[in-house]
Structure 1
Amino acid sequence: MSGERAELNSRSRHRFEALLADSVALHGHLCAGQVIGVRMSMLGLRLIGIHEPKGVDRKKLYVVVEIDRCATDAIQSVTGCSLGKRSLRWLDLGIMAATFVNLETATAVRITAREEARESARTYRPDIVDRYQRQLAAYQEMPDEALFAVQRVRLTIAENDLPGRPLRRVCCQQCGDWVQDGREERVAGRTVCRSCAHGAYYTVVEKV
């Protein structure tokens, strides 16, 4: 049995290393956030029963990320989910967390990187003085329970947020832009885009 366990651990390690290499190629450099994102994805996929996220299971998978940091690139790399496919949703919460959803079974888990893992990295790699390099190495060795907090959760995903073709497109009655996926609003009896309703993130200098 110990031999089987060792072989399983070896295969898991090789898979992790391959996924990490792919993630680094996408992201551009190796960092602790890449390790967290790869391991978080591996754990999340396993817990919701997704085995081939880029293959036969690709239409079953939906991921919500809560931060726009390095780990998010790793999650995209491992899962194959993306904003363009509408299988990846970004909520700007600033939390190193992601929720993995099996759309077929409605199984979902929210996984958060433990803040205390930053300090407990000393326990796993006391030989490394630089704290960033220590975290990078330790995060590859720490058990899942030391690195992550896991919650079983339930998600209600609006139809307009699911993958697939837009359910409707409407024209903003103020600026003329076309709005998809139910993002329009009603203001004073008019259908407008969110920029016209609440103020745009940009200021028009001139039309060209």
Structure 2
Amino acid sequence: MESKKTYDDVVAFHGHSCPGLAIGIKASELALRELGEGDGDEELVCVSETDMCGVDGIQYMTNCTVGKGNLILRNYGKVAFTFYRRRDGKGLRLVLKDSLKRDMERDEYRDYLLKSNAEELFDVKTPREPLPSMAYRESSLRCSRCGEGTMESLTRNLDGQVYCLPCFREIRPQR
């Protein structure tokens, strides 16, 4: 790995060694090489199209986190990651090539991924969607049913009452 962060560091953060973690590390290496490290805050953004182990590798390697709003999970079930650099909007979408695994066992596949050049593992494409806006704070509203504060944009209004999404779903189930 080209980073000062070692594979063992990433494994310690994630909890186990696996092919998915290797995929996230390799995607991060390619993104960091193309877009730079960023400022450690929100300069680098990742939109992940999966919720697999690789997301932890990306979080550790790039400092993108859900809490800061620069790691966004959109689980489409695809091993694909779009990275953006905020200052100029440059971005790239990395899609794991389908033909990689062949008939390898788990550890053999992980080692293969770690030893490969990232460019050999991913199809590099243009982003499918625009750069997400920066994280922002918004007002909280109190749910009329449970009394808990909820971010205003994630509430529903029914008959003049404000509801959080779980309460709204309980009183108005999908039909």
State the TM-score bracket (shorter-chain normalisation): 0.7 to 0.9
| Structure-2-length-normalised TM-score | 0.83
Q: What corresponds to 1:171 in structure 2?
A: 142
Q: What corresponds to 2:154 in structure 1?
A: 183
Give CA-to-partner distance per residue, 1:129-172, whole Å, 9 cap, x none. x62122112112333343112211142535xxx334x1221122
Larger C-alpha radius of gyration, 1 or 2? Answer: 1
1:65 aligns with 2:48: yes
Partners of 2:81 and 2:95 within 8 A in 1: yes
Q: Which of 131, 135, 147 is residue 109 of structure 2 equivalent to?
A: 135
**Comparing both chains, which one has the higher relative contact order based on Cα–Cα distances under 8 Å and sequence gaps of 6 or more?**
2
Higher helix share: 1
Q: Which of 26, 35, 38 is residue 13 of structure 2 equivalent to?
A: 26
RMSD after superposition: 2.4
| Identity over aligned pairs, percent | 25
Secondary structure of the 1:89 match is strand
Partners of 1:34 and 1:70 within 8 A in 2: yes
Q: Which of 161, 164, 167 is residue 193 of structure 1 equivalent to?
A: 164
Taking the aligned partners of 2:168 and 2:93, their CA distance within structure 1 comes to 32
| Structure-1-length-normalised TM-score | 0.71
Q: 5+ residue gaps in structure 1?
A: 1-12, 123-129, 201-208
Taking the aligned partners of 2:106 and 2:123, their CA distance within structure 1 comes to 21
Shift of 1:23: 0.9
